[in-house]
Amino acid sequence: MTPEREKVRQEELQPTILVVDDESSVRESFKILLGDDYRILTATNGEEAIRNVKEKHFNLVLLDVRMPGMDGIEALRRIKEMDKQLDVIMVTAVKTVRTAVEAMKLGAYDYINKPFDVDEVVAIVRRVMQKQDLQKEVAYLRSEVERQSKFHNLIGSSPAMQPVFETISEMAKSDATVLITGETGTGKEQVARAIHFNSQRSDKPFIAVDCAALPETLIESELFGHEKGAFTGATMQRLGKFELANRGTLFLDEIGNLRLDMQAKILRALQEREIQRVGGIKTIKVDIRIISATNIDLMRGVKEQRFREDLYYRLNVVPLHVPPLRERREDIPILAKHFLERYNQEFNKSIKGVSEKAQRYLMSYNWPGNVRELQNVIERLTALGKEEIIPHDRLPLDILLVGEEAGLGIRSEGLLLKEARDGFEREFILSALEKTGWNQIRTSRILGVHRNTLSLKMRELNLKHKSICTAQKRQQMKRNTIR
């Protein structure tokens, strides 16, 4: 690329300012003042300014108020009709309160008086550009959050997950009520977020409520809000989750844990699309989409009269089941890699992965805590990891024992399963104790068990430090000598 072309390219990348003034001296002054840092284009009147804004992209317009033909106020009105986000600074030799107020009402960013102060002009223009940079950063961060909230956190390519992805895509096109079922830790809330952030409500609130975690005395206030003085401690009005989620999505997690009276109030809110705050008398209209989730069998709850049948059918318009991790083992390596990358950044580590043997152990484990348990294991391994590749003996004891029972690490034939397991347990715990200098607190952390559990295992397997064994032998010899 020639130097001339490179210079043109650099100028094109600079923020562009349109200077609109009928006086050539003013236009040249702005060019001299701002030309080093910004690309300056000019127009001599309002009509020319309008044509420029229609045809080109500008970051800022410096617009004279008094010009022949179309004045600056009318030009400002027309510019804002074409591009509401375009920043405009008014420039005038005669400042009146009425003109300033009118310009600000039409959306002008600021006002500069002629003859203008050089430092003031540079400062105002810099403020405009900094504001625009901040807006771009916020927009980028928001897009990143939305991107991660769509399918980014739903990892999986296994056949068991394909119906989940298909249903999410279909439900994103409508406002249908969805009931998500699945074991604890399978990612039901992530599924709900994916539905919301792929729907037409994506730019509106997503409010999640863990019904199992709310105290019974506060649950009505949390969901529907309360008026000042509604009960002891209600010192001010408070909006509930239904109001906060207006025009967006309300996610009711573990809805099977709600009391029957609260179920009735939620049913009414869904049917009437309106609520009443605790202590209030007026009804408040709400426009929300309901997505609920449960890890229990709600139909069984209906039969046992623990869950309202009418509410069950109101919630279960579209059922969506999230499979447990043991039914989608093909996704375990992908999930482990995903979590490893996340915690590498969080803990400033550079761990490349787990060993092949460690991966086989992870694949053989049934993961009763599902994806959440796998995430916790990878977080712990990353936080404590020092090697580039995590070896299998760093895995928690429960996973190693299951792997041994699955035949992944058996070294001797002819052993009963209990003998093999006890032998492996003894070697594994002994190795961890030796690494920590027999510090039981540090060892229990490495093994991922409570210190009391470790002490019990040490007694069962007769694991003692050499110094203890030596002291016991001396004590025995002393007793024999006395006899």
Q: Is the pLDDT of residue 79 over 90?
A: yes
Confidence of residue 3 (pLDDT cuts 50, 70, 90): low
Tell whether the model's pLDDT for residue 413 goes beyond 50: no
The pLDDT tens digits of the residues spanning 274-300 come to 998 998 887 888 999 999 999 999 999
| Residue 338, phi then psi, degrees to nearest 5 | -60, -50
Q: Which is nearest to 221 in space by CA: 206, 241, 204?
A: 241
Is the pLDDT reported for residue 384 higher than 60?
yes
Q: SS3 of 110, please?
A: strand
At 461, is the pLDDT very low, low, confident or very high (cuts 50, 70, 90)? confident
Question: Which CATH fold topology does 414-483 show?
Answer: Arc Repressor Mutant, subunit A (1.10.10)
Considering the chain, what is the average pLDDT of its residues?
Answer: 84
Residues of CATH 3.40.50.300 domain(s) within the chain? 153-323
When mean pLDDT is compared across 9-23, 145-159, 243-257, 376-390, the lowest value belongs to 145-159
Mean pLDDT value of segment 194-221: 89
What does the pLDDT read at residue 214?
85
DSSP assignment string, 41-102: EEESSHHHHHHHHHHS--SEEEEES--SSS-HHHHHHHHHHH-TT-EEEEEESS--HHHHHH
Pairing of strands 353-354, 389-390: parallel
Q: For the chain, first and last CA: distance in Å?
A: 101
Ramachandran angles phi, psi of 61, nearest 5°: -120, 125
| Chain segment 21-68, per-residue pLDDT in tens | 999 999 999 999 999 989 999 999 999 999 999 888 899 999 998 898
CATH number assigned to the domain with residue range 327-409, chosen from the 4 options 3.40.1160.10, 1.10.10.10, 1.10.8.60, 1.10.150.120: 1.10.8.60
pLDDT tops 70 at residue 414? no
Residue 474 pLDDT: 46
State pLDDT tens for residues 119-129. 999 999 999 99
Tokens standing for 348? 């400033």
Query: Which CATH superfamily includes the segment(s) 153-323?
Result: P-loop containing nucleotide triphosphate hydrolases (3.40.50.300)
The mean pLDDT of 84-108, rounded to a whole number, is 82
| Position 88 pLDDT exceeds 80 | yes
Mean pLDDT of 234-247: 88
CATH 1.10.8.60 range(s) for the chain read 327-409
Among residues of the chain, what percentage have pLDDT more than 70? 85
Per-residue confidence band for 458, with pLDDT thresholds at 50, 70 and 90: confident
pLDDT band at 149 (very low <50, low <70, confident <90, very high): very low
pLDDT value at position 400? Answer: 84
Question: For position 223, what pLDDT does the model report?
Answer: 92
- Summarize pLDDT for 324-342 with one digit per residue, the tens: 999 999 999 999 999 999 9
CATH number of 3-135: 3.40.50.2300
Asked whether residue 477 carries a pLDDT value surpassing 60, the answer given is no
**pLDDT (tens digit per residue) in 421-448:** 666 677 778 877 887 888 888 888 777 7
pLDDT at 142 over 90: no
Q: What is the pLDDT of residues 309-328, one digit of tens each?
A: 999 999 999 999 999 999 99
Residues facing 180 on adjacent strands = 293, 320
- For 28, 148, 261, 300, the CA distances from 303, given in Å and listed in that order, are 83, 39, 17, 5
Give me the amino acid identity at 60. L
Global pTM reads 0.57
Sorted by sequence, the CB contacts under 8 Å of residue 277 that are 6+ apart come out as 224, 225, 226, 227, 230, 237, 240, 284
The number of CA neighbours under 13 Å toward the Cβ of 119 is 0
Q: Higher pLDDT residue, 256 or 142? A: 256
- Is the pLDDT score of 112 beyond 80? yes
- Across the range 187-202, mean pLDDT stands at 92
